[in-house]
Amino acid sequence: MKPWAAALFAILALALAAYAWEGGDSDFGGGSDFGDSSSFSGSSYSGSSGGSSDGWGALILFGLILATVFVLVVVGRGYQFGNAAEQKKIEQTAKFLHVLGQTNSGWNKAELERFVSESFVRGQRAWEARDYAQVKDIVTPELYSQHTQQLEKMKQDHEINRVLDLSVRDVKIVHVENHTLTDQDMFLARVTAKGKNQIIDDRTGEVLRTDDVAKVHTEYRVYIRKAGKWLLAAIRPPDAVRDLIKKENFDAEMTPTMMKWVYEQMDEHR
């Protein structure tokens, strides 16, 4: 069961339970053992009329219905985008890459995923060493300049950002654009990694800040092709790439109808 559907089911169950418990004809409203023997015995609660209980039951039921609507509108939509819709796009992109890779080795899905994983680890190690020259060959000049400035600031502050037990858990190609001019080609990859983040004082080795345990981290990486090489152009959090994830994959030689045909044909051969 989907998480948001489970939450909806729980809220509806609570609503029904509340209505049954508070109803004027229920056993708890009058002469039950609970009502006679509890500390509330003799108070206005034990002697309240069925009509008053009905009012409270209706009020509770109304509030829970509002909560249910909230779950459907907010949580449901969030789940749909963050999971189902994105997963569908990832599956479509895999089918698209299967076709592109047959005629263009630069779009080989397995090789792209391997490159993303390796470049991610290289980037983390260069960041920890505060030496971005180690990855100058796989990042754009703009990103190189930006990250070098950030690392210089860390050196001034005597801070080292170390990630312990780093591992790449998953790489998915989410979006692809194949243009007539290869220097306009790009793809978006989702990287899920795990590690324990620490900030170290480079003078004393003291741990200034640290995660309690290794944590799972997800980021999106934008790659562009320049002079036949893939370069990392940007690193984005999930909220910053929603529009790109929603965007249709692009091929300069394929119409939207042809793209749809690719998706459908691949479904038939699965």
175: part of which helix (H) or strand (E)?
strand 159-178
Residue 260: per-residue pLDDT = 87
* 82 contacts 89 by C-beta, under 8 angstroms: no
Strand partners, 216: 194
The residue with tokens 């592109």 is 100
Question: What residue ranges define each of the domains in the chain, with the CATH number in brackets?
Answer: 3-79 (no CATH), 104-268 (3.10.450.240)
The overall average pLDDT reported for the chain is 80
Per-residue pLDDT tens digits for 135-166: 999 999 999 999 999 999 999 999 999 999 99
Vertex 238, ends 237 and 242: CA angle to 5°? Answer: 125
Q: How many other C-beta atoms can be found within 10 angstroms of the C-beta atom of residue 112?
A: 20
SS3 of 132, please? helix
Which residue from 125, 111, 108 is spatially nearest to 164, judged by alpha carbons?
A: 125
Q: Are 177 and 185 in contact (CB under 8 A)?
A: yes
Whether the model pTM is above 0.95: no
What are the angstrom distances between the C-alpha of 127 and each of 137, 207, 250, 267?
A: 15, 17, 33, 42
Token digits of residue 251: 């091929």
Tens of pLDDT along 26-83? 333 333 322 333 322 233 333 334 444 556 666 666 666 666 545 444 444 433 345 8
- Render pLDDT for 170-220 as a digit per residue (tens, 0 to 9): 999 999 999 999 899 999 999 999 999 999 999 999 999 999 999 999 999
Say what the pLDDT of residue 108 is.
96
In this structure, what DSSP letter does residue 80 have? Answer: I
Q: How do strand 159-178 and strand 250-251 relate by DSSP bridges?
A: parallel
Q: What are the pLDDT digits (tens) for 84-142?
A: 999 999 999 999 999 999 989 899 999 999 999 999 999 999 999 999 999 999 999 99
Q: Which of 123, 116, 191, 223 is nearest to 163 (CA)?
A: 123
